[in-house]
Amino acid sequence: MNSGAARCAPGAAAGPVAITVVVSTRNRRHKIETCARTLLALRCRLPWQCVIVDNGSSDGTLERLRELSTALAPGLDVVSEPRAGVSRGRNAGIRAARGEFIAMMDDDCLPESGFLDAVLEVFADPSIGYYGGRVLLHDPDDYPITIKTSLQREEFPSGTVLRPGALHGANFGFRRAVLERIGGFDTNMGPGTRSRSGEDLELATRASFGGWRGVYDPRPTVRHDHGRRTPDSVRSLDRSYDIGRGAYYLRSALLGGAGILALKHWYWNMWFRRYRGIRRLSREALGAAYWLAAFARHRVPEPLFPRS
């Protein structure tokens, strides 16, 4: 990186940018304002864009984001997607993105100062189609969950069924060209649907079976201010992950290109002989059934980008 290069703030004016950061939020006004202010304080050696999607909030989030956009402009593009579901919200953000690279994070995450340049460094390798970044715990009083602290880089060759935990939707991204080819998030998956989670792994695995290499790279780093401090909140999250895992494996097997390899991967990761293994498996099966029922009702995916 050229240390003497100009440090660009985000710009809302139309024009080419290198990176777009997309965040979808719903009814978390104070969290997203902190996230937005942290994002807009970032600098990058190339022009970039910040897109925040209000995903049908009822707590004044959209109005507050528009106030921030006016007060801090140029810098923040606000998009409204009233239909609930983080996959719908992220897809709306991707449609508004102008960057060659699209980075995504959760609305309770705070990027570190070098985040944007680190994303550029990941994609300096033209064979990398997607990445997952490092996720640290922001508040030491929170449970150490939904984080990935490893400093060890890990590569995912094309044709890989990603294991759960290989990357986190709190901090990951794609080349725009990949999403133009494979489409966006499955709107029958993720928070806001009965499948609850798994949409991030599914999209990455779909990219992998589309022919792209991926990587876990610790350089793009965020801090996760998730606020979970009770055993009940942790158990609830674990149940959501179990349900989403089943949806992920079945969707990857049937539509994501992974076929029987995804089913084999699911089988070899079942906890038949571990404590509470059967209960976990039953939730995975439920998640698979939830996704299949939703897919039966809504088979045709929404176009991610307009046809040229």
In the chain the domains, ranked by start, together with CATH numbers, are: 17-228 (3.90.550.10)
Q: How far apart are CA 70 and CA 77, in angstroms?
A: 10
Nearest 5°: phi and psi at 224?
-95, 115
| Residue 15: per-residue pLDDT | 78
Q: How confident is the chain (308 residues) per 10-residue block, as mean pLDDT? A: 61 80 98 96 96 98 95 87 97 97 98 98 98 98 97 98 97 98 97 97 98 98 97 96 97 97 90 70 96 91 75
What is the predicted pLDDT for the residue at 1?
A: 43
pLDDT of residue 295: 95
pLDDT at 158: 98
Alpha carbons 59 and 281: distance in angstroms, whole number? 37
The model carries a pTM of 0.95
Residue-level pLDDT at 277: 78
Q: Where are the beta strands (DSSP E) in 32-120?
A: 48-54, 77-80, 99-105, 109-111
* Angle of the 231-254 helix axis to the 277-297 helix axis, nearest 10: 50
